[in-house]
A and B are shown apart, each in its own frame.
Chain A
Amino acid sequence: MAHGPATLADGWVKYISRWVFTTNHKDIGTLYLWFSFAMFILGGSFAMIIRAELFQPGMQLIKPEFFNQMTTMHGLVMVFGAIMPAFVGLANWLIPMMIGAPDMALPRMNNLSFWILPFAFAILVATLFMEGGGPNFGWTFYAPLSTTYAPDTVNYFIFGVHIMGASSIMGSINIIATVMNMRAPGMTYMKMPMFVWTWLITAFLLVAVMPVLAGAVTMMLTDINFGTSFFDAAGGGDPVLFQHIFWFFGHPEVYIIILPAFGVVSQIIPTFSRKPLFGYSSMVYATASIAFMSFIVWAHHMFTVGMPIAGELYFMYATMLIAVPTGVKVFNWITTMYKGSLTFETPMLFSIAFVILFTFGGFTGLMLSIAAADIQYHDTYFVVAHFHYVMVAGAVFSGTAAVYYWLPKWCGKMYDETMGKVQFWIAFIGFNITFMPQHFLGLAGMPRRYADYGLQFADWNMVSSIGAFMYGAAQILFLFNVVRTITHGKPVDKPEVWEGAEGLEWTVPTPAPYHTFEKPPQVK
């Protein structure tokens, strides 16, 4: 084996060492993607427990204390374990191939940033089996719930967050260095594919705000263990300060999750419309302005803390302003499809569903941005419905689309189109059955994060749970389809795979060889 990766045929030791010590961007991308899928299944099973308990009013399956741990862990695992690593995985696989670079700029750091991640989540998940249970204070871990009233295991949670933060920062530094320093000759910034652009901007957001999250949990740590009073009113601190710091991280974080998803659909829609992306430069500027504005709207998550009216008005209008660049993007996607020769392969179906459902989630976001109305909606299922429309139908749908779209390039086999479409329709219908009724529940006043609810909420909760089980089943089908493709898929050998696909990644042979672009391509 002079060149190329070790396979199972070389024996277990060599095969495992290959994955542990790999510095190859494709290997690390694969690791990230499989890890994030494992976390997706784990976080999904927490969601299934939540929905099973909420199937009927009253307490049936689990205790309220455990329910709180489930809602917290579901949020943490999905945000930090499933969605973020999935997009880092896509970035690792695709960015070097899209800009004509042989690998990531800092391959050893790349290896480190992946391999600390399983430890972070092992620590986090292990708290569920410890005395006192896992974190039970919601994924936003507001003080003093997460300090004064937290279980002792909160220290493990803090350590876990520190590790995953370090991993994210290293990952983003790597992406920035790759994009800025390793573009092929002729690949100017304004020629980069949208996915690369959105990731470059996302990486800057990550470097700026992950340290703020680390700071927030560090202050929690010293409050809990070393007698400081950042968030403790008894010592002159203020719990509301925690919310400000958390959301100063948290709001850019939601764009960290969605911007790469924007990038993915901006690659897929032109391919299956057989037209170039409409308004490329406006897409770039829209992405940059969304990223900038994400820093100045954080307090719209906290309209009920008792802000002065001027503050509420400012955060309300600033939030509404974000709808403008987002609207530009939606307009461009639709206009790209307009008069195109559309075909509806699975990735395209997921991308179109993304555009429709993300826009829907954006509209409920606009409703929530109205400060006066938000006081009614705050902490109800309306909020839960809103952020699942943008996180699941946004980030997860586009991640699924990305896997179907690039899977043939990665493994040289074509997935089963029928199975993909079946999965899409189960996921699409199941998703809407799950989350559409949660709007009604929220408007009717059902609060989030409770293990039980009033009888008047029973019917829609049962509908929502049935939809959730459907959506969960679709993910099992997804896993099966991907595994089946790798083992039994029909081989593909043409480099471009899809008829209308544009970009450097489609110029390399299929499946993508272990090393690509050792000699940089010339981009015209």
Chain B
Amino acid sequence: MQTSHRTLLAKLLALAVAMFLFAVFVLPPLYDLFCEITGIGGRTDGKYEAVEVRVDTSRQVEVQFVAANNAEMPWEFYPMEYSVVVHPGESRAVNFFAHNTTGENMVAQAIPNVLPNNAADYFHKTACFCFDNQPLAAGEQAELGLVFILDPDLPDSVNTVTLSYTLFDITDRTALSISQIQ
């Protein structure tokens, strides 16, 4: 093979490999970062450390709760209060009810989502069952707690915030947690 072919071949193969690595290792984190910065997709941040803030009593915001099961999840899962009215800056605790209706020990994971998108960055959770996975033994019931604060900087256009949880069955991928219940 001529040298000119060989160098070109090496360069093009390197380009192909680089694009593969770009797709697998760069694009997904980049996408997450993009969503995090822009709040697109209603993603909320992780655990929030409460700081001393002024409670804005002049303003009331309705927070609605939605609970849904992912396709094959058989649990009973609903918010104990469907909506609450809070002042921005005020810390509020609510509970969700979960009941493993099956005869199997299972592990669930709740994934939160906030609408409208521009509210996602201002919805802070100081405690949430969604930070951990939820093992429930067969037939077991539980009240799952959430403590949240709406940031006083919440855009003025937002009067209603909807927080939805989708509950996923992750029993298969957490064989360890199952043995911990037993």
Q: A216-B23, A235-B173 are in contact. Are A176 and B5 (CB under 8 A)?
A: no
Across the interface, do A245 and B27 meet the contact criterion of CB distance under 8 Å?
yes
Contact A214–B20 (Cβ < 8 Å) = yes
Query: CA of A236 to CA of B109 in the docked complex: distance in angstroms?
Result: 10
Binary A-proximity of B108-119 (CB < 8 A = 1, otherwise 0): 010100000100
Q: A176-B12, A230-B28, A307-B40 are in contact. Are A212 and B117 (CB under 8 A)?
A: no
Confirm or deny: A233 has a beta carbon within 8 angstroms of a beta carbon on chain B: yes
Interface string of B8-30 (1 = CB under 8 A from A): 11001101111111111001100
Interface residues of B (CB under 8 A from A): 1-2, 4-5, 8-9, 12-13, 15-24, 27-28, 31-32, 35, 38, 40-41, 70-71, 109, 111, 117, 166, 168-170, 173
**Given A106-B5, A215-B22, A248-B27, 4 more pairs with CB closer than 8 A:** A211-B18, A212-B19, A215-B21, A230-B28
The residue from A181, A208, A230 contacting B4, defined by CB atoms under 8 A apart: A181
Which listed residue, A106, A148, A307, touches B9 by the CB 8 Å rule?
A: A106
Interface majority SS (helix, strand, loop, mixed), chain A: helix
**Contact between B27 and A208 (Cβ–Cβ < 8 Å)?**
no
Bound-state Cα–Cα, A307 to B39, Å:
11
Judging by beta carbons under 8 Å apart, are B5 and A211 in contact?
no
- A211 with B109, Cβ < 8 A, contacts A234-B170, A240-B41 known: no
Q: Shortest beta-carbon distance, B73 to chain A, in Å?
A: 9
Query: Is B40's CB under 8 angstroms from A308's CB?
Result: yes
* Residues B17 and A177 in contact, CB atoms below 8 Å apart: no
A308 to B41, CA, bound (A): 9
Contact of A233 among B1, B35, B166 (CB under 8 A): B166
Chain B residues within an 8 Å CB radius of A207? 12, 15-16, 19
Inter-chain contacts of B27 with A (CB < 8 A): 212, 215, 241, 244-245, 248
Assembled-state Cα–Cα distance A290/B170 (Å): 45
Whether B168 lies near A234 (C-beta < 8 A) is yes
**Contacts A216-B23, A230-B28; A181 near B5 (Cβ below 8 A):** yes
Selected contact of A234 from candidates B38, B41, B109, B117, CB within 8 Å: B109
Q: What secondary structure prevails in chain B residues at the interface with A?
A: helix
Q: 9 A-B residue contacts at CB 8 Å? A: A173-B8, A177-B8, A207-B19, A211-B18, A227-B173, A234-B70, A238-B31, A245-B28, A307-B40
- A394 to nearest B CB, angstroms? 26
A210 on the B face (CB < 8 A): yes
Which residues of B sit under 8 angstroms from A105, Cβ to Cβ?
2, 5, 8
Q: Check A45 for interface membership: any CB of B closer than 8 A.
A: no
Chain A residues near B15 (CB-CB < 8 A): 207-208
List of B residues within 8 angstroms of A209 by Cβ: 19
- Whether A218 is near chain B, meaning CB under 8 Å from some CB there, is yes
The number of chain A residues touching the other chain, given as a range, is 35 or more
Partner of B2 from the list A181, A234, A235 (CB cut-off 8 Å) is: A181
Chain B CB within 8 A of A219 CB: yes
User: A308 contacts B12, CB within 8 Å?
Assistant: no
Q: Taking the complex as formed, is A368 at the interface, i.e. its CB lies under 8 A from any CB of chain B?
A: no
Q: Which residues of A contact B1 (CB under 8 A)?
A: 106
Q: Is the CB of B38 within 8 A of A211?
A: no
How far apart sit A470 and B73, CA to CA, in the bound complex (Å)? 48
Asked if residues A211 and B17 are in contact (CB atoms below 8 Å), the reply is: yes
Q: Is the CB of A173 within 8 A of B111?
A: no
The reply to whether A233 and B19 form a contact with Cβ atoms under 8 Å apart is no
* A169, CB-defined interface residue at 8 Å: yes
Contact in complex: B24, A308 (CB < 8 Å): no
Establish whether residues B41 and A238, one from each chain, have CB atoms under 8 Å apart when the complex forms. Answer: yes
Q: Would you give the shortest CB distance from A218 to chain B, in whole angstroms?
A: 6
Q: Which residues of A contact B173 (CB under 8 A)?
A: 227, 235
Q: Are A212 and B23 in contact (CB under 8 A)?
A: yes
- Cβ of A180 within 8 Å of any chain B Cβ, yes or no, is yes
Q: Find out whether the CB atom of A235 lies under 8 angstroms from the CB atom of B8.
A: no
Residue numbers in A under 8 Å from B2 (CB-CB): 105, 181
Q: Which residues of A contact B170 (CB under 8 A)?
A: 234-235
Known A207-B16, A210-B16, A308-B38; contact A176-B28, beta-carbon cutoff 8 A:
no
Asked whether B24 lies within 8 Å of A233 as measured between CB atoms, the reply is no
CB within 8 Å for A211 and B70 given contacts A241-B31, A248-B27:
no
What residues of A have a CB within 8 angstroms of the CB of B5 in the complex? 105-106, 177, 181
Chain A residues whose CB sits within 8 angstroms of the CB of B12 once the complex forms? 172-173, 176-177, 207
In the complex, what residues of B have CB within 8 A of residue A306's CB? 40-41
Known: A176-B12, A177-B8, A218-B24. A234 touches B111 (CB 8 A): yes
Contact of B8 among A180, A218, A241, A245 (CB under 8 A): A180
CA distance A237 to B21 in the complex (A): 18
How far apart sit A306 and B32, CA to CA, in the bound complex (Å)?
Answer: 16
Chain B nearest CB: distance from A420 CB in Å?
A: 39
* From B24, B31, B70, contact of A215 by CB (8 A): B24
Q: How far is the CB of B3 from chain A (nearest CB, A)?
A: 10
Least CB separation from B1: chain A residue: A106
Would you call A208 and B19 a contact (CB within 8 A)? yes
Q: How many Å lie between the Cα of A453 and that of B92 in the bound state?
A: 50
Smallest beta-carbon distance B67→chain A, Å: 15
Highest count of chain B CB atoms <10 Å: which of A211, A233, A307: A211
B31, closest chain A residue (CB): A241
Distance of A393 from chain B, by nearest CB (Å): 31
User: Distance (Å) between the CB of B46 and the closest chain A CB?
Assistant: 11
A contact residues around B168 at 8 Å (CB): 233-234
